[in-house]
Amino acid sequence: MTNHKGNFLDLLKAHDCQTQLDLPATASNGTSPPIQETEGTTVLAVRYKDGVLIGGDRRATAGNVVMYDRAEKLLQIDEHSVLAIAGSPAMAYEMARVLEHSFQYFRRSQLQELSIEGKLRTLSRLIRENLPMTLQGIGGVIPIYAIYDLQNDDKNGGKIFFYDALGAHFESADFATSGSGSVWIRGVLFYQNRWGDKPLADMDEQEATVTVLRLLDAAAEYDSATSGYNPKSNIYPTVKTITKDGIQDLSVDRLQEIYAESVETTYAR
């Protein structure tokens, strides 16, 4: 028996299993590869004065094709946590469903909430179990998990966690980004937080929302897979707040007002 020394990809090739990594950029007849996975980007979360504000664009793409411009990338898991997805919506939606049901089952069977560490490890396990798909170049999910810790003695119990493809989780004190557009805005967030007029943690909801919407607009300017505000279809990014009072969606009317006052005005100058 051939020894593949734990190399999963070599084992697949030895059994004539073709992976996404083996597929050419174009087939011999000039068509696209057989598998065109739908992906979604860009999401970001900031810790502001009252908790966590999390935002995401609405575009889902497959290669250079816009598949959908109303995708939902901020998924509420329970009363005080949101999963922001970047990558494969098919895998991410399934992970969100498993998380939601797992947390509900624990709460109903144990008559108490699952600990934050337990929630983080549950998501880590789901990402790790998805690793074979990720290694094939399909089905990868790199989420942000935002939660409000009601047991936190500090004034602000907002917490932001981000993950790698192996399921390791890391806590971010101030902000986190994920998705193809994140490379354009991560440095801006660092600059804003360190040298801006006000640190992110001191911003109120209005200021944090303006910051997030401006950054999503900047990501859309440089990343074709990210969409900003679409005036023709009246499509706005999704924005949620997570505070001690729970999760709130910013309404379209509120987003429209903020865009008119603080985002679109930059183009008119």
Catalytic residue numbers read 41
Alpha-carbon distance 66 to 242, whole Å?
A: 30
Q: Is 115 in a helix, a strand, or coil?
A: coil
Alpha-carbon distance 261 to 206, whole Å?
A: 11
- Expressed in angstroms, the distance from the first to the final Cα of the chain is 71
Q: Is 32 in a helix, a strand, or coil?
A: coil
Nearest C-alpha neighbor of 120 from the set 92, 140, 151, 144? 144
Query: Cα 230 to chain center, whole Å?
Result: 20
H helix or E strand, kind and range, residue 100: helix 89-110
Q: At what angle do helices 116-129 and 89-110 cross, to 10 degrees?
A: 140
* The 3-state secondary structure of 223-263, one letter per residue: CCCCCCCECCCCECCEEEEEECCEEEECCHHHHHHHHHHHH
Alpha-carbon distance 256 to 22, whole Å?
A: 45
CB distance 165 to 127 below 8 Å: yes
